Amino acid sequence: MEAYRRFKFDSFEDLKKELSRLGIELPLAEDTGMLQQPLRIGKNSVSNRLVIHPMEGCDGDSRGRPTELTHRRYRRFATGGAGLLWFEATAVVEQGRANPRQLLITGDTIKELAALFQETLDAAVGKNGTGGKPYTVVQLTHSGRHSRPVSKAQPIIAAVNPYLGDEKQAAGNIITDAQLEALEDKYVEAAVMAAQIGFNAVDIKSCHGYLISELLSAHTRQGPYGGSFENRTRFLLNIVDKVYKKLSGKIDIAVRMNGYDGMPYPYGWGVSREDHRRVDLSEPIRLVEQLQQKGVRLINVSAGSPYYNPHVGRPYDSGPYIPRENQLYAIERMLNIARKIQAAVPQTAIVATGLSWLREFAAAVAAGGVAGGWFQLAGFGRQSFAYPDFAQDIINTGKMQRQKCCIACGKCTELMRLDGVTGCVIRDAEVYRPIYKKLKAGKPSMVGKEVADHV
């Protein structure tokens, strides 16, 4: 396996040369016009193929309501011109928040979330906006084993996993079947509120090792929510059925799902049972086929766990430690997963993940992916923190500007891990650099440390 290399491509030709040297196929189209084509999702239309991924700013208040920093982030996203705006992880219950500032959707927060939503739409159509309303999705989450609703971790675990820490401690925090059944209804309540607010869709978040993602791989769990494929997918599919039953026609359902966990069987989803470094999409494809049959028309495909193998799903470049894998392999893997899933469910719009590391060349990969049928929508995560108007630039000029791009330095993730509010330390430095400097002061350096990527 070719080792990690820093990003150093001055031209499209440089990137193509490196891809050919590594034997990697990425979709490439220098003409990005394709990205301007509208797309229908259910009854609604998305004005272009560019998506802002769900990106938490950890800047809610202690009750889970947005603050001025949250509003600022969404104003920036809204005026940036992306056709689809996927609102960040928003917990359906207090105990399932990933941090004490994660947004929460309950009767206590609905008024403030509605105000955030309205201001976002107004910004999109207003003076600095593009004049068009984006298609909006809100991501409903329960953080499962990564729950930390107060400053201390309070894990709620689907299945014991020796790769993720102390088995004895985990055994005391396993969520019961009755609790899971009751939690299904909390997702429905949250979906009802999302529909009242006016979102086009709710995402039943099933990625990155959080509760539903962990259930998908809960081979070792006993009872109705573990073991067989039917049992492991039961919680997600029950929620989908219940939301459709309650809200038929009033809101779309989307799913952000891992296609590949990169964690050994029997603890990983989308992995070969013999070798977890190999992708095996038989179960993810079976699941998306069922979701499509039920009416789901939007799936955002991601990979990995931010806590276990962060760079499987979030290629990293220039920070203080060295990932094991060459990032272009990680990008190729993610885009190929999107491609195979898109081929399996052609009526569903697949959103691809993993483009930010490519800087300005992401526009050509996004266009190539859409033109070649690899995926129908191209998602941008960190890029939307660094360069919220990337979509407008692509639409107006056909390309992105290098000097505005995310450099995949990982500082926004570091801010999260330091328990700070987060955003781009490099390109939105006026707000986030002072916060970063303050939180970093006195902390040990990570220079020279290798991250355990397990791939």
Ligand X SMILES: Cc1cc2nc3c(=O)[nH]c(=O)nc-3n(C[C@H](O)[C@H](O)[C@H](O)COP(=O)(O)O)c2cc1C
Residue nearest to ligand X (CB): 381
Residue 48 binds which of ligand X, ligand SF4, none (CB < 5-8 A, kind-dependent)? none
**Shortest spacing between CB 376 and ligand X, in angstroms:** 17
Rounded to a whole number of angstroms, the minimum distance from the CB of residue 246 to ligand SF4 is 37
Cα Rg, the chain, nearest whole Å: 20
Give the nearer residue to ligand SF4 in terms of CB position, either 228 or 318: 318
| CB burial string 158-175: b at 16+ within 10 A, e below | bbbbeebeeeeebeeebb
* Paired strand residues for 86: 137
Nearer to ligand X by C-beta: 88 or 360? Answer: 88
Distance in angstroms (rounded) separating the CA atoms of residues 89 and 92 = 9
Nearer to ligand X, 267 or 316 (CB): 316
Among ligand SF4, ligand X, none, residue 436 binds (CB under 5-8 Å by kind): none
C-alpha distance from residue 228 to each of 209, 216, 292, 427 (Å): 19, 10, 20, 46
Sign of CA dihedral 98, 100, 101, 105: positive
Binding site partner of 426, from ligand X, ligand SF4, none, Cβ cut-off 5-8 A by kind: ligand SF4
Residue with smaller CB distance to ligand X, 142 or 219: 142
Is the Cβ of residue 234 or residue 427 nearer to ligand SF4 in the bound state?
427
Sites of contact with ligand X (CB under 6 A): 53-56, 88-89, 139, 207-208, 256, 302, 313-315, 353-357, 380-383, 412-413, 416, 422
CB nearer ligand X, residue 191 or residue 303:
303
Which stretches of the chain bind ligand SF4, using CB under 6 A?
382, 385-386, 406-412, 424-427
Smallest gap from residue 313 Cβ to ligand X (A):
6
Angle at CA 341, nearest 5°, toward 335 and 344? 145
Write down the least CB distance from residue 194 to ligand X, Å: 15
Smallest distance from the beta carbon of 422 to ligand X, in angstroms? 5
**What does 302 interact with, of ligand SF4, ligand X, none (CB < 5 to 8 A by kind)?**
ligand X
Closest CA to 388 of 423, 352, 338: 423
Upper half-sphere CA count for residue 182 (Cβ side, 13 Å): 6
Q: How near is the Cβ of 304 to ligand X at its closest, in Å?
A: 9
Residue 8 structure tokens: 């150093």
* Calpha distance 386→74 (Å, rounded): 13
Residue 243 near residue 279, CB atoms below 8 Å = no
